[in-house]
């Protein structure tokens, strides 16, 4: 029997299939909205991969074991049927697994709510070559994912991990932050897809009609649910962010530089930021950062000097005069920012009123995370509290201090 993969895989996944076939990446983060067929793609690729490699087994994982039967297990049965190989596979629901009859290879389905059942998977033949985290956004965070990977990444080479998910609306959600970090890894492909690249006959008229109706009724909900976009929850303090690489050519053409620093030690990190400012276009660029707990003053000086070779003025929190004095004794040009009444609100508003805050996620990953995740809190009635919240704002504070003199150019600023 001959099966054309173009009849089973949506066009948006053609290049990803080639990447998997030629072993170009070890990790695939597949994000998308409803009807993007990302999970269908993974099930087909894993079934084919196992039938082509007699040493390959797979473990498919969801956060809650009770959700496996009616989601990914049925999805893999669908893939087997569509590939026309049902005669070669046996299924079992207790334990939940699929067995490739010619060799005894298996696909096992596990829930992360029972971690003891994931650890130390032993197979009669081969090893865990494929892993599939379905709806990875349901998991607690990267620590939980790492623990599972450490248990399964044993016994063989060329292990491939798929993570499929609908991105949560809030940028603060751990999986959206992790996606940005994963995109910087050379062994990882982050791929986006949505229903618009899928043949309409696969989805049906009702699906298309529902999507178009939501687009008409609620554009933002449509973008999140059907296009898989991180639209935000409406609580974001900064809606003027651009997260992208700042090129060397751009960096060479900046004229106006500022430097800010927020102090911490044990629980809270010390944060240092290099900032470029374009006053005519009212935008700032966050170029480089230092972000570390338990950092001594001498260590801070060693790290800052290469980023600020001209020893330009660094504006820092005046609440720590002893640290400022120590840094100055070590040769760093640090001045304390004395905050007057209303200075916090003023400086946040100044940043919000900029046309754009550009953050390079490679060199300022913590600034990207903090600025994107900084949200207004809600009261008991579900209404937003206008006060700017405290916590997880160390790079934001460093930028506020660093831009003090630029803020003063426009007139009154509540700095003392």
Mind listing the pLDDT tens digit for each residue in 191-245?
999 999 999 999 999 999 999 999 999 998 999 999 999 887 778 889 899 999 9
Find the distance separating the first CA and the last CA of the chain, reported in whole Å: 80
pLDDT attached to residue 165: 96
Residue 150: Cβ-neighbour burial (10 angstroms; 0-12, 13-18, 19+): exposed
How many C-beta atoms lie closer than 10 Å to residue 376's C-beta? 16
Domain boundaries, the chain: 5-215, 241-408
Regions of the chain where pLDDT drops below 50: 412
Q: How far apart, in whole angstroms, are the C-alpha atoms of residue 416 and residue 414?
A: 6
pLDDT attached to residue 305: 96
Dihedral, CA of residue 370, residue 375, residue 380 and residue 383, to nearest 10:
180
Beta strands in 54-145 (DSSP E): 56-62, 89-93, 96-100, 105-111, 127-134
pTM of the model: 0.68
CATH node for 5-215? 3.40.50.300
What's the CATH architecture for 241-408? 2-Layer Sandwich (3.30)
Which of 135, 229, 370, 375 is catalytic? The answer is 135
pLDDT attached to residue 415: 52
CB neighbours of 227 closer than 8 A, spacing ≥ 6? 33, 194, 196
52 pairs with which residues across the strands? none
Q: Among this protein's residues, is 229 annotated catalytic?
A: no
């Amino acid at each position: 029997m001959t099966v054309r993969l173009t009849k089973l895989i949506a066009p948006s996944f053609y290049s990803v299939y080639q990447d998997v076939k030629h072993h170009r990446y070890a990790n695939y983060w597949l994000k998308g909205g409803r009807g993007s067929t990302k999970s269908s793609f993974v099930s087909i690729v894993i079934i084919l991969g196992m039938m082509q490699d007699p040493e390959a087994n797979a473990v498919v994982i969801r956060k809650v074991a009770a959700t496996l039967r009616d989601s990914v297990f049925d999805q893999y049965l669908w893939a087997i049927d569509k590939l026309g190989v049902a005669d070669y596979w046996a299924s079992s629901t207790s334990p939940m697994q699929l067995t490739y009859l010619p060799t005894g290879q298996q696909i096992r389905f596990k829930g992360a709510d029972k971690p003891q059942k994931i650890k130390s998977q032993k197979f009669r033949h081969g090893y865990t070559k494929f892993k599939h985290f379905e709806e990875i956004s349901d998991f607690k965070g990267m620590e939980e994912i790492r623990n599972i990977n450490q248990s399964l990444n044993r016994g063989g080479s060329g292990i491939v991990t798929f993570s499929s998910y609908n991105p949560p609306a809030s940028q603060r959600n751990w999986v959206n932050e992790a996606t940005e970090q994963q995109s910087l890894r050379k062994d990882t492909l982050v791929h986006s897809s949505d229903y618009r690249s899928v043949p309409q006959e696969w989805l049906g008229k009702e699906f298309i009609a529902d999507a178009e109706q939501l687009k008409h009724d609620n554009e933002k909900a449509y973008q999140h649910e059907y296009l898989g976009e991180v639209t935000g929850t409406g609580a974001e303090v900064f809606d003027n962010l651009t997260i992208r690489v700042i090129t060397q050519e751009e960096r060479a053409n900046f004229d106006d530089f500022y430097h800010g620093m927020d102090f911490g030690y044990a629980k809270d990190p010390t944060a240092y930021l290099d900032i470029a400012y374009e006053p005519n276009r009212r935008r700032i660029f966050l170029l480089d950062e230092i972000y570390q707990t338990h950092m001594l003053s001498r260590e801070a000086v060693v790290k800052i000097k290469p980023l600020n070779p001209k020893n330009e003025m660094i504006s820092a929190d005046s609440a720590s005069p002893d640290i400022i004095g120590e840094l100055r004794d070590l040769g760093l040009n640090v001045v304390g920012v004395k905050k007057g009444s209303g200075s916090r609100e003023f400086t946040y508003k100044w940043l919000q009123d900029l046309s754009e805050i550009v953050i390079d996620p490679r060199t300022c990953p913590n600034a990207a995370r903090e600025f994107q995740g900084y949200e207004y809190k809600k009261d008991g009635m579900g209404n937003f509290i206008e006060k700017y919240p405290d916590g997880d704002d160390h790079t934001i504070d460093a930028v506020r201090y660093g831009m003090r003199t630029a803020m003063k150019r426009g007139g009154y600023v509540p700095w003392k």
